[in-house]
Amino acid sequence: MITDYNEIINILENINPIKYAKDRNFIDGSVTRISPYISRGIISTKQVYKFLIKKGYSLKNIQKFVQEMVWREFWQITWQSNNIDKDLKHLQKDVEFYGFPSIIINHNTQINAIDKSIEALYDSGYMHNHLRMYVASLCTNILNYHWKLPAKWMYYHLLDGDWGSNSLSWQWVCGANSNKKYYANQDNINRFTKSNQKNTILDTSYDDLLNLKCERELTRNFSLELNVNYPKSDKFLNKTQKPICIYNYYNLDVNWRKSLDAHRILLIEPSIFKQYPISDKAMKFMIDLSKNIKNIKIFVGEFNELPIKKSKVYFKEHPLNYNYIGTEDSREWICKPKIVYKSFFKHWNTVIKQLYLNPL
């Protein structure tokens, strides 16, 4: 996985937003693979949007691509004012189990496209967005597991793990954040994964899928601990008491307050990672990306354990930074309406009107 900042910026050159709009839902479609860098905050959705506009694309031609980035922003805005660890709009219906379904964790669903995607997730930290929906639907709507722990399992392994998007997407699939559940049968999976499998548990009509009762063996729970391995802290005594810029799992912005003569600290708080654990691959990815920030030091501990002394502290806004004290800088948004909407499409209509008035 590329972690050099200049090489990451070069990836933007390869984005084809027009092809993306046509075939993004297919397993071999024109996906961009920039999501991990947006999730880690080394680039922003606004930066990507401005890059495409400056490259000469009209807003009309890239509207679908922009909409997908605005979905990401909408989840973040929703997270800012809601407890997304709980069912957001409705209690999830038909829940029978809590925990991790064994056939998912062990990639043994006997649905080839899903099993291969889980193996790839373990190996690379990547899963195509459509496959994420298939996995979430199978977990919650077929096997009748509550969404939260399986969502944490997926978040744990994803290099683009973003609890806002992960939590609220899983809730959207299971009906806790939408008005109906999302289902996909085998024909749908075959179409978008370019496969031709038959005789799976999903190889049935949608009417039958809604009333499917799984055998006990398929719903068996798997005992799983999502452990976090931490790096060693660098020595940081703050003798000079310069300003301190705090970076974390969601903010690795190379250009943020770049001209400020400051200590730059990658803060890895065990309390946060206990709530939202990440894999060794995800931890390494964060640390490798942080190396783009000159003289950054790793600090494993809580914010209140930092030797702040009389230093001014700066950090970027994020829902998980609730215990930070200092000057909070806003994140970059493509467009953030003044009104917080519960409906994405009301949010989107406001955003797109504003963008047509002010493309940049």
pLDDT in 10s for each residue of the chain, 360 residues: 999 999 999 999 999 999 999 999 999 999 999 999 999 999 999 999 999 999 999 999 999 999 999 999 999 999 999 999 999 999 999 999 999 999 999 999 999 999 999 999 999 999 999 999 999 999 999 999 999 999 999 999 999 999 999 999 999 999 999 999 999 999 999 999 999 999 999 999 999 999 898 988 899 999 999 999 999 999 998 888 999 999 999 999 999 999 999 999 999 999 999 999 999 999 999 999 999 999 999 999 999 999 999 999 999 999 999 999 999 999 999 999 999 999 999 999 999 999 999 877
Looking at the structure, tell me whether residues 10 and 40 fall in a common domain.
yes
Looking at the structure, tell me whether residues 302 and 316 fall in a common domain.
yes
Asked whether residue 9 is domain-assigned, the answer is yes
Looking at the structure, tell me whether residues 122 and 11 fall in a common domain.
no
Q: How many Cα atoms within 13 Å fall on the side-chain side of residue 91? A: 4
Looking at the structure, tell me whether residues 325 and 340 fall in a common domain.
no
At residue 323, the pLDDT reads 96
Q: 181, 309, 314: which is closest to 247 by C-alpha?
A: 314
Q: Residue 48 phi/psi, 5° resolution?
A: -65, -45
Tell me which amino acid residue 78 is. Answer: T
Looking at the structure, tell me whether residues 51 and 145 fall in a common domain.
no
Cα 18 to its chain centre, rounded Å, is 23
At residue 354, the pLDDT reads 96
Give yes or no for a contact between 125 and 279, defined as CB atoms under 8 angstroms apart. Answer: yes
Asked whether residue 94 is domain-assigned, the answer is no
Place of tokens 């946060």: 272
3-state DSSP helix/strand/coil % of the chain, to nearest 5: 45, 10, 50
Asked whether residue 90 is domain-assigned, the answer is no
CATH for 181: 1.10.579.10
CATH for 56: 1.25.40
Looking at the structure, tell me whether residues 55 and 139 fall in a common domain.
no
Asked whether residue 155 is domain-assigned, the answer is yes
At residue 240, the pLDDT reads 87
Asked whether residue 178 is domain-assigned, the answer is yes
Looking at the structure, tell me whether residues 109 and 77 fall in a common domain.
no
Asked whether residue 95 is domain-assigned, the answer is no
**Structure token pair of residue 273:** 């990672």
**Structure token pair of residue 225:** 């601990």
Give yes or no for a contact between 257 and 251, defined as CB atoms under 8 angstroms apart. Answer: no
At residue 216, the pLDDT reads 87
Task: Kindly list the distances between the CA atom of residue 235 and the CA atoms of 254, 290, 298, 300, 310, in Å, as whole numbers in the listed order.
Answer: 22, 16, 8, 11, 18
Looking at the structure, tell me whether residues 217 and 153 fall in a common domain.
yes
At residue 359, the pLDDT reads 78
Domain count, the chain: 3
At residue 360, the pLDDT reads 75
- Cα 339 from Cα 356, distance rounded (Å): 18
**Structure token pair of residue 17:** 């937003």
Q: What's the domain range around 128?
A: 100-222
